[in-house]
Structure 1
C-alpha cells in the first residue's frame, strides 16, 4: 500500500512522508487514494492532501484505540459476539473499501484470481500459505494481463 502511495508523496519531505506512512492502515490508504485520484482528476496539485490524510489517520487511530479499549473492557461479558453478527464487521469493511476502488470488470480479474487461488490454498495447504499464494497469483495475473489492468 505504501508503494502505491509513493508517487503521491514525492512532494513531501521525508520527515513528513515517513510518519504519514507509519499511521497508514487499509482504511486510511483506501480513502487517501480515492481522495488523491479525485484531486488529480480535478487538476489539483499536489493530488495527495497531507491535511486530509492526517485528519483521517488521527480519527481512525482514535476510534480504533477507543473501540479496542471498550472491547477489552466489556468483551468478556458479551461472550460469543458472532451470535449478533459482529463477525461480519471485517468482511463488511473490506467490501466497502472494494466498492470504492472498483474500476470495472477487467481490473477485477487479478482480484478474482487471487481470491480463487488463496481459497484453494486455504483449503488444501497447511498454515497461512494462502496469504502469499493469493498475493503472488494476483501479481502474476496483472503481469500476464499487461499494464492495462
Structure 2
C-alpha cells in the first residue's frame, strides 16, 4: 500500500488515453516524498499508455501517403494526437492540404485554452516556456489537474508532457517503419483505419448529452456535404459545429486542485483496495 492512499480522503479523476479511461488516485499531501513518487508514477503510466498509440499513427500516416520524414516531422511539430489523425484522415481520403491543416488546427485549438490556464501555474519564461507550450496536451493538463497543490501539479505536468512527447515520437517512427514494410495499405485495410482510429479516440468522450448532441449535429452536416463538397470540406464543416457549441459552453478547468471523485468511481478501502 502506498503511504497516504486509501480511506475517505482519497480522491481521483479519469484521464482518457485513446479509447480507455485511466483512474488517477491522488494521495493526501501529508507525505511530500510519497506524493511526488505517486505523481511521477501517474505521469509515466499515462505517458506509456498514450505513447504506444504512436505506432498506429505512424503506420496510418504512411498508409495515407506520407513518407517517413513527413510522418516524423508531423509528430514532432504538431504533437497532438487527435489533430494528427484528423490530418492524415483528410489527406488519405484525397482532401486538399489546406482542408487537412484547417481541420487539424480546429481540433488543436483546445490546446490554446489549456495554455491560457496553465500559464500562471507553470510560470516558465524563455525557451522552457516554449517547451511547456509544446507539451500542453490533454494528458499533461489532466494529470496536473488531478494533483492536490501547484507544486505537484507542475511536477505531473512536466513528467507527463515530456514522457508522452518522447514515447509518442519513438513509437511513431516504429509504426512508420512497420507501415512502410507492409506495402499497399489497401491489402490490409489500412486505407480506412485512420477514420476508425479517430473514432476510437472520440467515442469515449461522448458520455454526456451535450457531447452526443454536438456529435449528432456534426454527423448530419458531414453527411449532407459529402456528396457535393470536395474531400476534407465536410470534416472541416463538422468541426465548426463543435466550435459553435463550444462558444456556448466554454470549459472552465481548475488546475492544481484535488479533484473530487465521481459518484460512479470505486473508492479505495481501508488497505487501498477498491471497495465494491
TM over 0.5: yes
Match of 1:91 in 2: 196
* CA shift for structure 1 position 114: 2.4
Asked whether the equivalents of residues 121 and 130 of structure 1 are also in contact (C-alpha less than 8 Å), the reply is yes
Q: Map 1:1-149 onto structure 2 (within 5 A).
A: 1-5=110-114, 6-15=116-125, 16-24=128-136, 29-39=137-147, 44-46=148-150, 49-81=153-185, 83-84=187-188, 88=193, 91-92=196-197, 94-96=199-201, 98-99=203-204, 101-102=205-206, 104-143=208-247, 146-147=248-249
Report the CA distance shift for 1:108/1:94 in structure 2 as closer, same or farther (over 3 A).
same
Question: What 5-or-longer segments of structure 2 have no aligned partner?
Answer: 1-109, 252-276
**Larger Rg computed on CA atoms:** 2
**1:118–1:133 Cα contact (<8 Å) kept:** yes
TM-score by length of 1: 0.63
Q: Which runs of 5+ in 1 are unaligned?
A: none
Which structure is higher in helix share?
Answer: 1
Aligned residues: 138
RMSD over aligned Cα atoms: 3.5
Q: Greater relative contact order (Cα 8 A, min sep 6): structure 1 or 2?
A: 2
| TM-score scaled by length of structure 2 | 0.39
Q: Measure, in 2, the Cα distance between the counterparts of 1:80 and 1:121.
A: 29
CA contact (8 A) 1:117 1:134 kept: yes
